[in-house]
Chains A and B, each alone.
Chain A
Amino acid sequence: MKLAQSWLKWHLAIAGLALCLLALPGARLFLEASMTRHMLVQFPLLALIGFWFAGALPRNWMRRLNLWNGYGISGLFASALLLAILMIPRVLDLALVDGRIELVKWLALLLCGAGVRLSWQPAGLLVQGFFLGNVLPMMVVVGYLFESSPVRLCNAYLLDDQERLGQNLIWVAATIGLAWFAILVRAMMRREAATALPTPSEDDPSTAK
């Protein structure tokens, strides 16, 4: 029990420290100077910190949250909505010139990561698939738009940066899609193995659950 408590403290401290590091003016300036770094480094790092924070939530909070988050639907839906809004090009420009928008952007990304952490397991493959089926095509479309637009969509960033970001967004979406598909296939194979063997043997890993 004590061990778990101290581990939790470390957990929170590391997440807090990472957040402070990202909030340092130098780090912010560096990450936000390029469109690619802004969206593909700062965004995921913030979401990751949110993900990390949510893992340290106390049990009774989790229980209360879960009442509102059946099958992880609310959490994943919130994350998908936030991601969709954050991909509007105007947000990137506004975040640079307006401190309030920047703050809201940070909170939104933390929430996004937290939403995924709290909802991924309860969601199950079906809801996960629905979530990814929305978010990944959206990323691809936005990536394609960024890559193929002849004009700059953000006043603060250069055109070649925008093209690079577009290409990378498509690659990231494809990678996540493939990774999830691999997980899906593995789960299906396990399930099939479990049904094919009605009398499970002791060394079959699929019956460990």
Chain B
Amino acid sequence: MLKTALLSASLAVAGYACSAWLTHDFQVWTAEGARRLEVALQPVAAPSVQIDGPGLATQALSQLLSDGQSVTLVDFVYTRCQTVCLALGSVYQQMQTTLQAARKTDVSARQVRLLSISFDGQRDNPRILQAYAARLSADQLLWRFVRVPDLKETQRLLADFQVIVVPDGRGDFEHNAALLVVNQHGQLVRIFDYAEQQLALDYARDLANASSLR
């Protein structure tokens, strides 16, 4: 019986250690929670995948995102999307309006940009992205749209930023939509839920402000 008690006790310790590791000390239970926590603890550099989009020359994503001045709020979309991307679109429209108003008085607001990346690079060519941007009345200087034409590179970008895209069997995609804050050096530093748009925007402006003061 002593052996049984000993074994059970060590099993309990092992089980505790295992679940503590899985849940980052019981802070997160889902892969999405773990992703957000991991990014906050350890920023992820944007990969140097080639992108293009309306009004943009073909260049590396890392180059576009690390101009040393602007903080970028990134989201992942596909233009045919009827569900979560619509919500994201209106979140972005509201953030654009807020930023446009703040730009007149606040320097830091001028250094926050919006970027929508299409993960359906085969279909969403620059012409389609242009039409999509027009539909959302995006301000070209503030809110840009890009795609990654190469399928392999798309996969790499999605893997680096831990974006999971699932075909839903009806020709659409389900994906873990969120607001990704990328700093001036092209590093993904924080991920916010798209319901937390104000928080994400404030965080981005704060990040821009901190660097412009320096």
Residues of A bordering B, CB below 8 Å:
67-71, 73-74, 77-78, 81-82, 84-85, 88-91, 93-94, 152-159
CB-nearest residue of chain B to A145: B29
Sample 22 A-B pairs with CB under 8 A, ordered by A number.
Answer: A67-B3, A68-B3, A69-B7, A70-B4, A74-B7, A74-B11, A81-B14, A85-B19, A85-B22, A88-B19, A90-B23, A90-B28, A90-B29, A90-B34, A93-B31, A94-B22, A153-B30, A154-B31, A155-B30, A155-B164, A158-B166, A158-B174
Contact present for A74 and B23 (CB under 8 Å): no
Cα–Cα distance between A158 and B176 once the two chains are bound (Å): 11
Cα–Cα distance between A88 and B30 once the two chains are bound (Å): 7
| Interface residue SS majority, chain B | helix
Cα–Cα distance between A90 and B29 once the two chains are bound (Å): 6
For residue A82, which residues in chain B have a CB less than 8 angstroms away from its CB? 15
CB-nearest residue of chain B to A115: B11
CB-nearest residue of chain B to A149: B30
Q: Which of B77-103 contact A (CB under 8 A)?
A: none
Question: Which of A71, A74, A78, A93 is close to B30, meaning CB atoms less than 8 Å apart?
Answer: A93
For residue B19, which residues in chain A have a CB less than 8 angstroms away from its CB? 84-85, 88
Contact present for A88 and B8 (CB under 8 Å): no
Cα–Cα distance between A194 and B7 once the two chains are bound (Å): 37
Cα–Cα distance between A158 and B19 once the two chains are bound (Å): 25
For residue A88, which residues in chain B have a CB less than 8 angstroms away from its CB? 19, 22-23, 29
Cα–Cα distance between A68 and B3 once the two chains are bound (Å): 5
Cα–Cα distance between A71 and B174 once the two chains are bound (Å): 48
Contact flag A154-B30 (CB < 8 Å), given A85-B15, A85-B18: yes
Q: Which of B5-53 contact A (CB under 8 A)?
A: 7-8, 11-12, 14-15, 18-19, 22-23, 28-35
Contact present for B29 and A69 (CB under 8 Å): no
For residue B31, which residues in chain A have a CB less than 8 angstroms away from its CB? 89-90, 93-94, 154-156
